[in-house]
Amino acid sequence: MRIILIIAILGCHLITAQTKDEKQLRAIYDMALTNGKAYDWLNHLSNQIGGRLSGSIQAQQAVEYTKNQLDSLGLDRVWLQPVMVPKWVRGTPEFAYIETRPGLTTNVPICALGGSVATPDGGLKGKILEVRGIEDLAALGKDMIKGKIVFFNRPMDPKLISTFDAYSGCVDQRYSGAAEAGKYGAAGIIVRSMNLRLDDLPHTGSMSYGDTPVQNRIPAAAISTNGAELLSTTLKLNPDIKFYFKQNCKQFDDVESYNVIGEIKGSTYPNEIMVVGGHLDSWDLGDGSHDDGAGVVQSMDVLRLIKASGYQPQRTLRVVLFMNEENGLRGGNKYAEVAKNKNENHVFALESDAGGFTPRGFSFDCSDADFEQVKSWKPLFEPYLIHQFVKGGSGADIGPLKDDNLVLSGLRPDSQRYFDHHHAENDTFEHVNKRELELGAATMASLVYLVDKYGFGIPKKVKG
């Protein structure tokens, strides 16, 4: 009898609590879908400012604009966190062609990889050697590679449902291809664009020479997927064709830039910090709407939505707009360094850096106990078609915060179209759907609300 009574009381309590949470989520989604700010902010970032490569005027304009917008939200504190960032400049548009025989050439679309050195002033022409990946280089050896342009042409695997998994399976070619091929005396490298679609757009992205001495660094460019197919087919017909490309990109000295940070002070646990963020820098070819303008404006809107819903966070809630995710991660590293020096207690960090597409769920980098707690919130997200709660990586910028007491999370939007736009000139505003963007912001704000309300570590304490 007593047991029944307890169950009845518990049951009532759960029903009440559930209903309150349901209402809060509904209020957040309603506001995001009827009165969201994310889309207008993105319009400005994309169409009034544009591509925001670290160290550029546009990146600085984005710092000023987002700081002003955060200032207007009536947060408890908004500030800039200085950080030195690399400054790499693309220069004039790149140019490339396949030369089937002297005088017979076909132009193909390329772009320099971010961080690459320039070709010689007159461009670089050479025989071309197609490989499927870095692991092919050792088998081919110096004799085969020396003086040639190595063409990395392993495509993304279309069978993988998450296109990010397909990206992970290829991106080593882009990131390390030049450093590795350089060891065998290659004159330059061309990489198939990280894109599942066949089209004419080259996709840039970061690369590293590792510890290659400056004088041994070779130029690296991406070729569009159609260009890669053409080059591969042409090579099969005639292995003696030549490839020409020219780029005059340049690395300058580091310059000062900023992470942009806004904060709502926690009412009960002000020293427990929750972070939401995205990265303010982007590549220079498009306007960086999906990568990561979307994550920036969604993160900003999380604080606005929480405030506007009338909810006062118990914990301190920060939005951090990280600088230089794309080619250095200096902003993410700086934020974690300062947090450590100040002995700040971060309990939760959520990043949106996978595009402004329909949200599908979250990935979590956390303990099993915390993951169980997160999963208990799944039913609250069902009405919004948020189904995916999985363990996995979170986001590059919040990664440096990682320790055992922190739950890291990444928003997981639908990934099918992401790499059609990623780092290419068509990562532009018109490819972001307003509702999809707003649903992402509401989904993030809902998770933040639940984390703030229930905290983490409860199962651990119960067990301990």
Q: Does 20 bind a second copy (CB under 8 A)?
A: no
Of the ranges 26-34, 49-57, 247-255, 298-306, which one interacts with a second copy (CB under 8 A)?
26-34
Smallest separation (angstroms) from a second copy to the CB of 153: 17
Of the ranges 44-52, 101-109, 282-290, 429-437, which one interacts with a second copy (CB under 8 A)?
429-437
Q: In the annotation, is 425 catalytic?
A: no
Tell me whether residue 138 or residue 385 sits nearer to a second copy (CB atom): 385
Smallest separation (angstroms) from a second copy to the CB of 123: 34
Q: Where in 179-198 is the site for a second copy (CB under 8 A)? A: 196-197
Marked catalytic residue, from 94, 325, 351, 425: 325
Tell me whether residue 26 or residue 250 sits nearer to a second copy (CB atom): 26
Q: By CB under 8 A, name the one of 11, 158, 239, 379 that touches a second copy.
A: 158
Tell me whether residue 106 or residue 416 sits nearer to a second copy (CB atom): 416
326 alpha-carbon distance from chain centroid: 8
Of the ranges 253-261, 268-276, 304-312, 414-422, which one interacts with a second copy (CB under 8 A)?
414-422
Q: Does 164 bind a second copy (CB under 8 A)?
A: no
Q: Does 433 bind a second copy (CB under 8 A)?
A: yes
Of the ranges 264-272, 309-317, 342-350, 378-386, which one interacts with a second copy (CB under 8 A)?
378-386
Q: Does 439 bind a second copy (CB under 8 A)?
A: yes
Q: Does 132 bind a second copy (CB under 8 A)?
A: no
Q: Does 140 bind a second copy (CB under 8 A)?
A: no
Q: Does 29 bind a second copy (CB under 8 A)?
A: yes
Q: By CB under 8 A, name the one of 120, 141, 239, 383 that touches a second copy.
A: 383
Smallest separation (angstroms) from a second copy to the CB of 195: 11
Smallest separation (angstroms) from a second copy to the CB of 290: 14
Q: Where in 316-375 is the site for a second copy (CB under 8 A)? A: 358, 360
Write out the residues near a second copy by the rule CB under 8 A: 29-30, 33-34, 158-159, 161, 163, 196-197, 358, 360, 383-385, 387-388, 414, 416-417, 420, 433-436, 439
Active site residues: 325
